[in-house]
Structure 1
Amino acid sequence: MSFPIATGSQMREVDRITIEERGIPGLVLMENAGTGVANAIKRRYSSLKDKNITVVSGKGNNGGDGYVVARLLLDECNEMNVFVLAEESALKGDALENYKRIKEAGAQIYHLKSTSEFDEEVMSILKRTDIIVDAILGTGITGEVKGFYGEVINLINDLRKDVVSVDISSGLSSDTGKISGPAIFSNLTVTLGMAKIAHFVYPAAKYAGDLEIVDIGIPDDVIENMKFDVEVIEKEDVRKILPQREKDAHKGNFGHTVIIGGSVGKSGAVIMAAEAAMRSGAGLVTAVVPKGINTVIEANLIEAMSFPVEENKNGAISKEAVDSILDFCRDKDVVAAGPGMGADKDGEVIIEALLKNLDMPLVLDADAINILSKNKEILRERKGEVILTPHPGEMGRLMGIKSSDVQKERLEVCIEAAKDFDCIVVLKGKNSIISNRGKKTFINTTGNPGMATGGSGDVLTGIIAGLLSQGVPSEYSASCGVFIHGLAGDIAAEDIGEVSLCAGDVIDYLPEAFLRCLTC
């Protein structure tokens, strides 16, 4: 099932309960943490006999974890050096105790307090180092790292060595995907007890490299009894949310999905959305399209039906079709609108009518979101549940900010939008974010760059709508729909690569994606 990811303050509370209420000493947790990191390094590099390792430690507990790593690997590697970015007098508590232990073990230790002390000897050590263990800063920082520590972070990045970070790449805030200043580019991050938000939310996530979560002895029920607002989706979530298909089931049991969209030159969008809804288990699918493209729709949709309506001079659905569309939709299970629809005045009339008159779930994508950005208040007048699926550009228009600003703070913007509009928002992109009114948020880890192609979002719209039509709750239709979408893209990339991957390939691999989830 989905697993929670923590902020820095949540992790500190987990540590506090473990130490103060459960009586597990901090020194034990630190030993377990260092052991977990040391073992992860040994697994990654198999033999360390010819490796030179340099542990770079700050003065806090993250540095203390680094001293444990150094002590445990001291006799395993060719050369071990420990750089302490502070005076010995600045070390306290468990970190000081583990500093004393590594000192007694005979490790070569250098105390460095400014970059001016990175002399010829120090730089020679760094140049011959194979693996740098980053134990400078942990989960406690929230802003930009400046001064000496920031300079060291930049220096390590410039060396382009293999870097293993303890818990989190130094310079990142564990609470966000935002990059505030210098941060270590890690090849491997070994995170302690629980993963942190920064490990999964971009752009910060790209600094983590490979991620390994290690057990440090925190009792399971301490984490289970804590409230976490952000979770990562897994295959088991899809298996659990899909309704059981009884042996005597018929198509009516799996709902009727309506896809509204298409226009001259954009018939493919509604075709792909409809096909994806069928492949996601919907019992019936109907595409509501302008009459002018109906022949194309019927020629390409074999399993789905079409409902042609009046078109305007732009070749899009006319506002004169509103009454017939509403009448057609009233007894259906879910409506998705926007793919290839166009964002003209007639489209504005249609989207407003859908929101104000239909009480079944609505999935709004593409041009429907662009229409909403012109009149966001109509979202507050809706009758039914709404799922919005914007890409960063559409989200920017919806929130009145630049798409580049959306990308800098993806998690915060998605949660804010979900709260403001009191709905479910899917912010598409690498590790898509799904927030249910800002109260519960999911991060998706499936998908690949090959899916950055026209039509991919239309496929996602169809998947979510297809799940909704089967009675899957909106929150899980959105989160698991995103997971399945990305997984199908990943399976396609395994077979045909990323360069040639098209949206239609994602549809073709949906059966395998569902099968992998159902048999996990």
Structure 2
Amino acid sequence: MKVLDNQQMRLLDRITTKEYKIPGLILMENAGMNTTVEVMKALNEDYRKKVIIICGTGNNGGDGFAVARHLYNKDVQVKVYIVGDEKSIQNDAKVNFEAIQAMRVSIGVLKDENDMIDFNLDLMKSDIVVDAIFGTGLNKPVKGIANEVIGVVNKVKRKIISVDIPSGISGDTGKVLGSAIRATKTVAYQLPKIGNLTAPAIEYNGELLICPIGIPQEAISKSQYEAKLITEKTLKDILPIRGLNSHKGNYGRALMIAGSRGMTGAAILASKAALRSGVGMLHLAIPEELNDILETQLTEVMTVPFQVPKGNAKEFTGVEDIMGSLQRSNVVALGPGLGRSKETEVIVERVLREAKCPVILDADALNVLPKMLKLLKKVKSRCILTPHPGEMAKLTGLSIPEINENRIKVAKDFSRKYGVIVVLKGASTVITDEEGHVYLNTTGNPGMATAGSGDVLTGIITALVGQKINLIGAAMAGVYIHGRSGDEAAKITGEYGMIASDMVREVPRIITEIVNKKKAFD
């Protein structure tokens, strides 16, 4: 599913009205009808309940006026409040505004603090609030009476349904522009906007529902948008159905370089996740002193023990054992629990210089990478980097707040500069590639903010690349499966008690579910 920014949505609207001759008023009518359906669900079809609809003076407000008209026709108790000067309402929004005037829908106007008394009283008597103040086009901080209205609405603790996007959220970035409505449900029209899917906006959406409004699918399919939402349907085109006449060699020979004293768990979790994601053979390079522990914990993994010098890192001859295994692998992942030693730096540098297979860099590999960033441009194969915002800060020199406020741009710029795929982890993980494509994932939950969660993701992506799935497809499938596994684990343990191994347990079931649906469809 494509994801739009403000400019792209305006362009698609213009194409719909100019090339396909569909008036904007029809799109607004469809938007109003779909939102009305959701309001009636929230009311449980109880017509005695009261709905307050707060409208701005633009097209978002026009959608709100259309909702008011439909609810009024159903004998629902409706009151509309306009934030701003009603004289500035124009075009399609004006048509719907004049319609509710003619129907004698109760209308109030909010221009200053003196108008807030009746509004506050009505809010306290209401059951549902419809937020149609600002749409995706908002590009400056909310101030004045609108800011006061948003603050009051958030305090009354009513069910709030936002039209297209919660008012106060940037449709381009998901940034809160001063203040924003905290919706119970957001009804996004036709396609999700970037602001619907990225942090911190996802804290404000509530339940996100995508509703069609009549924009032709042909217009959407012709449009060349860079951003897409990863869905289960996306994965059906990525995950292959296994042939009956197959063997372990068909599903990849992966090398994982992970673990160190005190951090064997990272290597174990990444390895188990890779095995549960279907890799054919997995070799794990591990310091020799930890080999017995790993062989006990990972009976299906072949270990590659290497010696770590106690003194000068120049004596690190064990790296040759790793390189020997690398030459026989079709994917290598390094970093989980590897430590930030000089030996780690040697391993990362040698892998980047010598690997002819895809390279996945995570955790401690990313922590030492800033010292050798230029090597990314010289790698013989392609790389996937899986940083969280803190690791991305070290790679870019930006602060964590700067990254979190511009997640898509930061990831895109890094991908293009260094020719790599970036998986920027966090709430709504962002995936970008060298060509500027953007993919957003919304599976997952706060319970996944636990030690080892990133190691599980690395293992899943490694296994998928090993099975010869193209790198961007493996990254997309990996983050989706990882998030879904966390969602399923949370149903059993709750978010508070979830640990990373709970996610590993769910991985094969999620993959099986997706592949079985693919079989049924085919």
TM bucket, shorter chain: over 0.9
Q: Which residue of 2 aligns with 1:137?
A: 134
Distance in 2, Cα, partners of 1:493 & 1:219: 38
Q: Contact between 1:264 and 1:315, CA under 8 Å: does it hold in 2?
A: no
Q: What do the CA deviations read for 1:184-213 (whole angstroms, capped 9, x no partner)?
A: 111111111211111111111111111111
Distance in 2, Cα, partners of 1:350 & 1:272: 21
Q: Which residue of 2 aligns with 1:339?
A: 336
Q: Contact between 1:372 and 1:379, CA under 8 Å: does it hold in 2?
A: no
More divergent stretch after superposition (417-426 vs 72-81): 72-81
Q: Does 1:34 align with 2:69?
A: no
Q: Contact between 2:308 and 2:343, CA under 8 Å: does it hold in 1?
A: no
Q: Contact between 1:191 and 1:212, CA under 8 Å: does it hold in 2?
A: yes
Are residues 128 and 87 of structure 1, via their aligned partners in 2, closer, same or farther at CA, if it must alter by over 3 Å?
A: same
Q: Which residue of 1 aligns with 2:406?
A: 409
Question: How far is 1:316 from its partner?
Answer: 10
Q: Contact between 2:120 and 2:152, CA under 8 Å: does it hold in 1?
A: no
Q: Does 1:160 align with 2:157?
A: yes
Q: Which residue of 1 aligns with 2:423?
A: 426
Question: How far is 1:240 from its partner?
Answer: 2.3
Q: Which residue of 1 aligns with 2:269?
A: 272
Distance in 2, Cα, partners of 1:265 & 1:118: 60
More divergent stretch after superposition (445-454 vs 259-268): 445-454
Distance in 2, Cα, partners of 1:113 & 1:9: 29
Q: What do the CA deviations read for 1:54-100 (whole angstroms, capped 9, x no partner)?
A: 11111111111111101111144553111112333211111111111
Q: Out of 244, 249, 259, which is 1:247 matched to?
A: 244
Question: How far is 1:221 from its partner?
Answer: 0.6
Q: Does 1:368 align with 2:333?
A: no
Unpaired runs of at least 5, structure 1: none
Are residues 122 and 247 of structure 1, via their aligned partners in 2, closer, same or farther at CA, if it must alter by over 3 Å?
A: closer
Which stretches of structure 1, 4 residues or more, deviate above 6 A after TM superposition?
314-318
| Identical-pair percentage | 39
Mapping of residues 453-468 of structure 1, within 5 Å:
453-468=450-465
Q: What do the CA deviations read for 1:304-325 (whole angstroms, capped 9, x no partner)?
A: 1101011133999973222232
Q: Which residue of 2 aligns with 1:496?
A: 493
Question: How far is 1:117 from its partner?
Answer: 2.2
Distance in 1, Cα, partners of 2:311 & 2:481: 35
Q: Does 1:22 align with 2:20?
A: yes
Letter paired with 1:104:
A
Q: Out of 350, 367, 379, which is 1:353 matched to?
A: 350
**SS of structure 2 residue aligned to 1:375:** helix
**SS of structure 1 residue aligned to 2:438:** strand
Mapping of residues 133-282 of structure 1, within 5 Å:
133-282=130-279
Q: Contact between 2:236 and 2:515, CA under 8 Å: does it hold in 1?
A: yes
**SS of structure 2 residue aligned to 1:249:** coil
Distance in 1, Cα, partners of 2:481 & 2:367: 25
Question: How far is 1:386 from its partner?
Answer: 0.5
Would you say how many aligned residue pairs link Structure 1 and Structure 2? 517
Distance in 2, Cα, partners of 1:6 & 1:489: 27
Q: Does 1:45 align with 2:8?
A: no
Q: Does 1:99 align with 2:64?
A: no
**SS of structure 2 residue aligned to 1:74:** helix
Unpaired runs of at least 5, structure 2: 518-522
Are residues 454 and 87 of structure 1, via their aligned partners in 2, closer, same or farther at CA, if it must alter by over 3 Å?
A: closer
**SS of structure 1 residue aligned to 2:318:** helix
Question: How far is 1:124 from its partner?
Answer: 1.4
Q: Which residue of 1 aligns with 2:71?
A: 73
Distance in 1, Cα, partners of 2:119 & 2:171: 30
Q: Out of 292, 295, 300, which is 2:292 matched to?
A: 295
Q: What do the CA deviations read for 1:189-245 (whole angstroms, capped 9, x no partner)?
A: 111121111111111111111111111111111111111111111123323222332
Letter paired with 1:154:
G
Q: Out of 121, 124, 139, which is 2:121 matched to?
A: 124
Question: How far is 1:137 from its partner?
Answer: 1.0
Letter paired with 1:117:
D
Question: How far is 1:178 from its partner?
Answer: 2.0
Distance in 2, Cα, partners of 1:465 & 1:117: 60
Question: How far is 1:378 from its partner?
Answer: 2.2
Are residues 400 and 51 of structure 1, via their aligned partners in 2, closer, same or farther at CA, if it must alter by over 3 Å?
A: same
Q: Contact between 1:396 and 1:403, CA under 8 Å: does it hold in 2?
A: yes
**SS of structure 2 residue aligned to 1:72:** helix
More divergent stretch after superposition (139-148 vs 33-42): 139-148
Q: What do the CA deviations read for 1:463-484 (whole angstroms, capped 9, x no partner)?
A: 1010011100000111101111
**SS of structure 1 residue aligned to 2:135:** coil
Are residues 210 and 438 of structure 1, via their aligned partners in 2, closer, same or farther at CA, if it must alter by over 3 Å?
A: farther
Letter paired with 2:445:
N
Distance in 2, Cα, partners of 1:159 & 1:509: 39
Q: Does 1:330 align with 2:327?
A: yes
Are residues 484 and 122 of structure 1, via their aligned partners in 2, closer, same or farther at CA, if it must alter by over 3 Å?
A: closer
Q: What do the CA deviations read for 1:232-269 (whole angstroms, capped 9, x no partner)?
A: 11123323222332222111111100001211111111
Mapping of residues 78-89 of structure 1, within 5 Å:
79-89=77-87
Are residues 312 and 116 of structure 1, via their aligned partners in 2, closer, same or farther at CA, if it must alter by over 3 Å?
A: farther
Question: How far is 1:173 from its partner?
Answer: 1.2
More divergent stretch after superposition (501-510 vs 409-418): 409-418
TM-score norm. by structure 1 comes to: 0.96
Q: Does 1:383 align with 2:377?
A: no
Q: Out of 8, 14, 18, which is 1:10 matched to?
A: 8
Are residues 438 and 49 of structure 1, via their aligned partners in 2, closer, same or farther at CA, if it must alter by over 3 Å?
A: same
Distance in 2, Cα, partners of 1:315 & 1:518: 50
Output the aligned Cα RMSD. 1.8
TM-score norm. by structure 2 comes to: 0.95
Q: What do the CA deviations read for 1:136-167 (whole angstroms, capped 9, x no partner)?
A: 11111123222332232223223332211111
Q: Contact between 2:110 and 2:145, CA under 8 Å: does it hold in 1?
A: no
Q: Contact between 1:136 and 1:170, CA under 8 Å: does it hold in 2?
A: yes
Q: Contact between 1:54 and 1:83, CA under 8 Å: does it hold in 2?
A: yes
**SS of structure 1 residue aligned to 2:317:** helix
Question: How far is 1:331 from its partner?
Answer: 2.2
Are residues 327 and 175 of structure 1, via their aligned partners in 2, closer, same or farther at CA, if it must alter by over 3 Å?
A: same
Q: Contact between 2:65 and 2:96, CA under 8 Å: does it hold in 1?
A: yes
Q: Contact between 1:416 and 1:438, CA under 8 Å: does it hold in 2?
A: no
